[in-house]
Amino acid sequence: MIDSAEEFIRLRFSDAPEEYGRAAAEPAAPGVWREVIERHPEARFWVAHNKTVPLEILRVLVNDPDPRVRSMVASKRKLTPELLTTLAADPDESIRLAVARHKSVPRSVLEQLRTDSWEEVRDVVRDRLERSH
């Protein structure tokens, strides 16, 4: 378990694979994640990257100003329909594409993306909707 924001930063930016591996795989309390987000904005991507990051933290990161952070959030398997709906309206087309391809995307979100401005998103949505019939 990661016990503090300082420990997470030390682990993540370590040169030792076993340490930065811990930063990617070990849980931390929500307060620790919030402290990392607030005090270390350069590490928000790595918070989203953590395999155990809770939904309550993903709900914060889904609106992050950095599209790399939002993209990492979009790649998470545990996303709720609410988070997928938020990401489906993202200004970054690659994030909307990730939503269209997401394993758990609800049909309502695919319908929302059916008229996306990017043809590649529309193509993925059309294929997924056709296969679901």
| Judgement on whether residues 5 and 50 belong to the same structural domain of the protein | yes
How many domains in the chain? 2
Per-residue confidence (pLDDT) for residue 133, from 0 to 100: 76
Q: How far apart are CA 26 and CA 91, in angstroms?
A: 31
Q: Is residue 9 part of a domain?
A: yes
Question: Would 67 be classed as within a structural domain?
Answer: no
Q: Are residues 133 and 84 in the same domain?
A: yes
pLDDT at 68: 98
- Is 130 inside any structural domain? yes
Q: Is residue 53 part of a domain?
A: yes
Whole-angstrom CA distances from 49 to 24, 27, 75 are 6, 12, 9
- Host domain of residue 94: 78-133
Whether 85 and 111 map to the same domain: the answer is yes
In a domain, 29, yes or no: yes
pLDDT reported for residue 132:
86
Whether residues 46 and 1 share a domain: the answer is yes
What parts of the chain have a pLDDT lower than 50?
none
Report if residue 73 sits inside a domain: no
Give the whole-angstrom CA distance, residue 78 versus residue 83.
Answer: 10
